[in-house]
């Protein structure tokens, strides 16, 4: 048994792994960068060390991480997910330093971590693959020429990537030509490799993945499937197990294919084989990729099997046999997980940020909350936007969905715009309950909040009618009641409201105030941000001269200068946040003025970027 294991990660996954290590009596070693000194994983793991020459990318510094492991006497390293988790050079460096890498071998990671070779390995194992093109070193011109033989739409994918980053859906050759440079740039930034793969894009597709586990003695097993079809920007939002779409025969065929691939490459430890499935003909499935690590959504598999997958990883890394690690595989009930992101889901899923003023997780039976946030946590655009995961179990799918809906509605997270209320609306939709959706569902359907409820407006009116330096919005809860004395005015989603102060009603809300406005939450109506009449309101008015930043981030391209003439829809500025690029376009035709930003400028939500004035 290992005595000490270094966790080469941060945030909630570091705390998740630490929890299992502690239960097994193994000492955890944590790491952090200068920017993460106040992070919860640092205080949560008592033996934590600042990485040498620490900076934002310190979690990618192989030498620094291994130096900490060796100097602290750790016998093994757990990579978590993200950062170096699927980096074969990191796994090799661990072996070279006499450390056990808790995961697959470097060779297996090389075989499956690069999408082009992974696809070839799948073909050799007899697993169906999506038609496409791609080879190491292919130029943009070569890709364009080869793409003429494929039917559109197509999907551009980073050859070395995963996690939904850097994907682009393409509908014609012109669009492909314009998108290739951006796709290469994103791939290089996110994965250090600009090679691309172009495949046929299945419009009506479902995303099904199989959890596999293999020991060091040639034994393999699957732990069932997960459905991850509900995604935005090709990143998962909802995951559940088992998949409601599959028949028993299709489930068996997919499991057989996943295990065939696992055995063919001599895979060891935990892994996930991902498939794309035709939503209308689910018996048609195609290999997509293999994730050679613990998945973010591993909790739903744990809930239906009763296993601790991190413990399975550790025991297999110690050469225990699969029959000892998992002597009796059982599947019970249904589990579903929602990812809480720092994003404005009702505004094209744009990234957000800020300081969390209040976080109160729900207290719901059969529920697990994974997070590394608390009151005062600063959310930046440097790392992934996921703030927390909520996973719920039920005896069947309907019960699990109800559990998750209740858990989300009782989650209080104020000070940063999140997707919680979007998730609640999604779970309530008939399409979701009847499992009638595809991977394009979230971005092809309209989601809007509707009008603010009367209880919200009266809560705000009562709060602002009794202002004080230490006002009630800073307290854990606030009881709304009072006598009418005046009216107040406020903005919600850029709409101005005139609100009368209530009389005779009483209920409690959670509330918080910061520079953005008043944040008010109640489990019956969700969380709303209300701005006072003196606060700046971001508007999408096409007649406005001002071009404002729709999200926090860093300017990576400025396509215009003062005096340039632009047409409606022309790209003006490119902003990067969470390793994703967002193009800010002209709202109308006109002439550029007051452009003071340059590449590298850090911008906040609502910050003036430039103006497009009428050309006279």
Residue range 548-607, pLDDT digits in tens: 998 888 999 999 999 999 999 999 999 988 767 889 999 999 999 999 899 999 998 889
Identify whether residues 18 and 92 lie together within a single domain.
yes
The Cα 463–Cα 457 span in angstroms is 10
Q: Is the dihedral of CA 354, 355, 358, 361 positive or negative?
A: positive
Assess whether pLDDT exceeds 70 at residue 279: yes
* Model pLDDT, residue 563: 92
Burial tier of 598 (Cβ tally within 10 Å: 0-12, 13-18, 19+): exposed
* Model pLDDT, residue 541: 65
The Cα 595–Cα 607 span in angstroms is 12
The Cα 271–Cα 292 span in angstroms is 5
Q: 447-465, pLDDT tens digit by residue? A: 988 888 888 888 888 777 6
Angle between helices 173-191 and 140-147 (to 10 degrees): 130
- In the numeric block, which tokens belong to residue 569? 């829809």
Assess whether pLDDT exceeds 90 at residue 52: no
Assess whether pLDDT exceeds 70 at residue 103: yes
Identify whether residues 432 and 516 lie together within a single domain.
no
67: containing domain: 4-102
Assess whether pLDDT exceeds 80 at residue 395: yes
Identify whether residues 368 and 249 lie together within a single domain.
yes
Which CATH number belongs to the domain containing residue 146 in this structure? Answer: 3.30.1490.20
Is position 110 within any domain?
A: no
The domain boundary residue, chosen from 506, 532, 558? 532
Output the CA–CA distances (angstroms, integers) from residue 165 to 10, 131, 186, 266, 420, in the order listed: 19, 21, 8, 28, 22
Burial tier of 571 (Cβ tally within 10 Å: 0-12, 13-18, 19+): middle
Which CATH number belongs to the domain containing residue 378 in this structure? Answer: 3.30.470.20
Q: 65-91, pLDDT tens digit by residue? A: 999 999 999 999 999 999 999 999 999
Confidence of residue 188 (pLDDT cuts 50, 70, 90): confident
Strand blocks (E) in 143-259: 154-158, 168-170, 196-200, 205-214, 220-227, 231-232, 235-236, 238-241
464 or 22, which is more confident? 22
Task: Calculate the average pLDDT of the chain.
Answer: 90
* Model pLDDT, residue 304: 99
The Cα 189–Cα 135 span in angstroms is 20
Confidence of residue 163 (pLDDT cuts 50, 70, 90): low
The Cα 235–Cα 348 span in angstroms is 14
Q: 334-365, pLDDT tens digit by residue? A: 999 999 999 999 998 999 999 999 999 999 99
Identify whether residues 85 and 167 lie together within a single domain.
no
Strand pairing class (526-532; 487-492): antiparallel
Burial tier of 538 (Cβ tally within 10 Å: 0-12, 13-18, 19+): middle
Strand blocks (E) in 539-607: 546-548, 553-558, 565-566, 571-577, 580-585, 590-593, 602-603
Which CATH number belongs to the domain containing residue 590 in this structure? Answer: 2.40.50.100
Q: Residues near 252 by Cβ (< 8 Å), separated by ≥ 6?
A: none
Is position 537 within any domain?
A: no
Identify whether residues 188 and 222 lie together within a single domain.
no
* Model pLDDT, residue 484: 42
How many Å from the N-terminal Cα to the C-terminal Cα in the chain? 77
Coil, strand or helix at 309: helix
Q: Is the dihedral of CA 55, 61, 64, 70 positive or negative?
A: positive
* Model pLDDT, residue 486: 56
Residue pair 579/386 in contact by the 8 Å Cβ criterion: no
Identify whether residues 274 and 381 lie together within a single domain.
yes
* Model pLDDT, residue 475: 39
Confidence of residue 264 (pLDDT cuts 50, 70, 90): very high
Task: Give the single-character DSSP code of 412.
Answer: E
Count of domains forming the chain: 5
* Model pLDDT, residue 483: 45
Closest CA to 574 of 595, 596, 599, 593: 599
Per-residue pLDDT averaged across 297-305, rounded?
A: 99
Confidence of residue 142 (pLDDT cuts 50, 70, 90): very high
Identify whether residues 253 and 342 lie together within a single domain.
yes
Assess whether pLDDT exceeds 90 at residue 210: yes
Strand pairing class (196-200; 154-158): antiparallel
Identify whether residues 187 and 219 lie together within a single domain.
no
Coil, strand or helix at 471: coil
Indicate left, alpha or beta for 271 from its phi (over 0: left) and psi (-120 to 50: alpha). beta
Angle between helices 106-113 and 115-124 (to 10 degrees): 90
Name beta bridge partners: 273.
210, 290
Residue pair 136/272 in contact by the 8 Å Cβ criterion: no
478 or 395, which is more confident? 395
Please state whether the peptide bond connecting residue 591 to the residue before it is cis, i.e. omega within 30 degrees of 0. Answer: no
Neighbours of 589 (CB within 10 A): 14
**How much of the chain, in percent, has pLDDT values that exceed 90?**
72
Assess whether pLDDT exceeds 50 at residue 476: no
Assess whether pLDDT exceeds 60 at residue 287: yes
Is position 489 within any domain?
A: yes
The Cα 610–Cα 593 span in angstroms is 6
The Cα 132–Cα 466 span in angstroms is 64
Is position 561 within any domain?
A: yes
- In the numeric block, which tokens belong to residue 605? 């939500």
Assess whether pLDDT exceeds 90 at residue 539: no
Task: Tell me which of 127-131, 179-183, 423-427, 492-496 is least confident.
Answer: 492-496
Neighbours of 139 (CB within 10 A): 9
The Cα 126–Cα 33 span in angstroms is 44
The domain boundary residue, chosen from 399, 423, 444? 444
> For the chain, what is the radius of gyration of the CA atoms?
25
Per-residue pLDDT averaged across 306-311, rounded?
A: 99
Closest CA to 243 of 208, 197, 219: 208
Name beta bridge partners: 263.
none
Which CATH number belongs to the domain containing residue 61 in this structure? Answer: 3.40.50.20
Per-residue pLDDT averaged across 312-332, rounded?
A: 98
The Cα 194–Cα 481 span in angstroms is 59
Identify whether residues 344 and 247 lie together within a single domain.
yes
* Model pLDDT, residue 579: 67
Is position 246 within any domain?
A: yes
Is position 327 within any domain?
A: yes
- Residue 93's H or E segment, with its range, is helix 88-96
* Model pLDDT, residue 136: 84
Is position 46 within any domain?
A: yes
Identify whether residues 177 and 248 lie together within a single domain.
no
Confidence of residue 536 (pLDDT cuts 50, 70, 90): low
Confidence of residue 473 (pLDDT cuts 50, 70, 90): very low
Confidence of residue 542 (pLDDT cuts 50, 70, 90): low
Three-class DSSP labels, 48-63? EEECCCCCHHHHHCHH
Residues shown for the chain? 616
Please state whether the peptide bond connecting residue 239 to the residue before it is cis, i.e. omega within 30 degrees of 0. Answer: no
Per-residue pLDDT averaged across 310-326, rounded?
A: 98
pTM: 0.88
The Cα 443–Cα 229 span in angstroms is 12
Q: Where are the alpha helices (DSSP H) in 97-172?
A: 106-113, 115-124, 140-147
Is position 230 within any domain?
A: yes
Identify whether residues 553 and 527 lie together within a single domain.
no
Quickly count helices (H) and strands (E) in the chain. Answer: 17, 39
Identify whether residues 401 and 418 lie together within a single domain.
yes
- In the numeric block, which tokens belong to residue 425? 């609306």
The Cα 460–Cα 394 span in angstroms is 37
- In the numeric block, which tokens belong to residue 305? 């099997």
Residue pair 237/423 in contact by the 8 Å Cβ criterion: yes
Confidence of residue 470 (pLDDT cuts 50, 70, 90): very low
């Amino acid at each position: 048994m290992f005595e000490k294991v270094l966790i080469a990660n941060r945030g909630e996954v570091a705390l998740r792994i630490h929890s299992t290590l502690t239960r097994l009596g193994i000492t955890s070693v944590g790491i952090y960068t200068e920017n993460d000194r106040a992070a919860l994983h640092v205080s949560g793991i008592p033996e934590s060390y600042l990485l040498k020459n620490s900076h934002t990318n310190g979690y990618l510094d192989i030498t620094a991480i291994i130096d900490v492991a060796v100097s602290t006497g750790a016998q093994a390293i757990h990579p978590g997910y993200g950062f170096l988790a699927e980096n074969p050079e990191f796994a090799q460096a661990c072996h070279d330093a006499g450390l056990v890498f808790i995961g697959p071998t470097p060779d297996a990671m090389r075989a499956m971590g690069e999408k082009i070779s992974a696809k070839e390995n799948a073909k050799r194992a007899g697993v169906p693959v999506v038609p496409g093109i791609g080879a190491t070193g292919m130029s943009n011109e070569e890709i364009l020429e080869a793409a003429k033989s494929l039917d559109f739409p197509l999907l551009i994918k980073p050859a070395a990537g995963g996690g939904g980053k850097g994907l682009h859906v393409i509908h014609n050759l012109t669009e492909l030509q314009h998108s290739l440079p951006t796709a290469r740039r994103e791939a290089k930034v996110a994965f250090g490799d600009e090679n691309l793969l172009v495949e046929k894009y299945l419009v009506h597709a479902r995303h099904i993945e199989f959890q596999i586990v293999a020991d060091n003695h040639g034994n393999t097993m699957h732990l069932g499937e997960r459905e991850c079809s509900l995604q935005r920007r090709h990143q998962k939002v909802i995951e559940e197990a088992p998949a409601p779409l599959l028949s028993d025969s299709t489930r068996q065929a997919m499991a057989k294919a996943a295990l065939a691939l696992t055995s063919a490459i001599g895979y060891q430890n935990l892994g996930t084989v991902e498939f794309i499935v035709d939503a209308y003909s689910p018996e048609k499935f195609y290999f997509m990729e293999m994730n050679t690590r613990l998945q973010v959504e591993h909790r739903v598999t744990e809930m239906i099997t009763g296993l601790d997958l991190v413990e399975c990883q550790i025991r297999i890394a110690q050469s225990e046999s699969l029959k000892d690690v998992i002597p009796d595989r059982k599947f019970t009930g249904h589990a579903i997980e929602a990812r809480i992101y720092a994003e404005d889901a009702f505004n094209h899923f744009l990234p957000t940020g800020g300081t969390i003023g209040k976080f109160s997780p729900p207290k719901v039976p059969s529920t697990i909350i994974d997070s590394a946030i608390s009151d005062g946590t600063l959310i930046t655009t440097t790392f992934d936007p996921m703030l927390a995961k909520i996973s719920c179990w039920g005896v069947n799918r309907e019960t699990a969905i109800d559990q998750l809906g209740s858990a989300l509605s009782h989650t209080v997270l104020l000070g940063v715009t999140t997707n919680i209320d979007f998730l609640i609306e999604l779970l309530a939709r008939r399409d979701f309950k009847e499992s009638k959706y595809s991977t394009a569902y979230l971005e092809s359907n309209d989601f809007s909040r509707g009008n603010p409820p009367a209880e919200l407006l009266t809560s705000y009116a009562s709060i602002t009618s009794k202002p004080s330096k230490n006002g009630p919005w800073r307290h854990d809860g606030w009881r709304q009641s009072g006598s009418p004395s005046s009216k107040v005015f406020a903005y919600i989603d850029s709409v101005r409201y005139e609100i009368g102060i209530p009389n005779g009603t009483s209920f409690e809300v959670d509330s918080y105030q910061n520079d953005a406005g008043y944040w008010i939450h109640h489990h019956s109506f969700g969380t709303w941000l209300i701005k006072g009449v003196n606060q700046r309101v971001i508007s999408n008015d096409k007649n406005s001269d001002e071009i404002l930043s729709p999200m926090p981030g860093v300017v990576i391209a400025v396509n215009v200068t003062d005096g340039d003439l632009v047409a409606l829809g022309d790209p003006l500025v490119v902003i990067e946040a969470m390793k994703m690029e967002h193009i800010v376009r002209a709202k109308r035709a006109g002439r550029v003025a007051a452009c003071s930003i340059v590449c590298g400028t850090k911008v906040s939500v609502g910050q003036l970027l430039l103006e497009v004035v009428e050309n006279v």
